[in-house]
Every structure is written in C-alpha cells, then in structure tokens.
Amino acid sequence: MGYSDPFRAATTDAGRDLLEAAIVLGGHLDAPEHDVDDETIARALSAFMDARECYLASLSARYGVACDTGPPSAHSQHTVLDLVRSVGPSA
C-alpha cells in the first residue's frame, strides 16, 4: 500500500487537460481558413486558457508557486468571444 499524493494527482490531471486543450487549439489554428470560424478558435483558446489556469493553480497548491497573471475570470470564455465579436469575422 503506497501513499496517495492528492496534489501530484491533481497536477497530473491538470497537465493532461492542458495538453489536450493545446492540441485542440493547435489543430484549429493549423486548419485551412475556410474550415474553422473565429468562434471555434475563440472557444478553443478559452478552453486552453482555463486549462492553463487550472494547471497553474495545481502547481501553486503543490509547490507554493504564485501566479501573477490575474484571476481565471480574466480569461473567461465571454471575454474572448466578446473580443472576436467586436472585431468581426476575419477577411
């Protein structure tokens, strides 16, 4: 019977989620322009930023690392989508 480290498990899960979000975002960014719309990219970017915040929070909990990039709400999906909507579709 081994000792279960909940912080290590959380960091591993958060790292896996961050990698998955990065792969999805990268796939959308590498797609031909006519295959992906701005809202799809904005959602993938938002998911990546949320996963990044969770990963940084797990590192903070495990190692006491402080993150000074702002609260997770600064990277909310609404903010990214509103930005895309305000800029309009790319030409």
Q: What is the DSSP string of 67-89?
A: --S--GGGG-HHHHHHHHHHH--
Residue 75 pLDDT: 47
Structure tokens belonging to residue 85: 């909507």
Residue 44 pLDDT: 93
Residue 91 pLDDT: 47
Residue 85 pLDDT: 64
Per-residue pLDDT of the chain (91 residues; tens, 9 = 90+): 566 666 677 778 888 999 999 999 999 999 888 888 889 999 999 999 999 998 888 888 777 766 555 555 554 445 555 655 666 655 4
Residue 60 pLDDT: 81
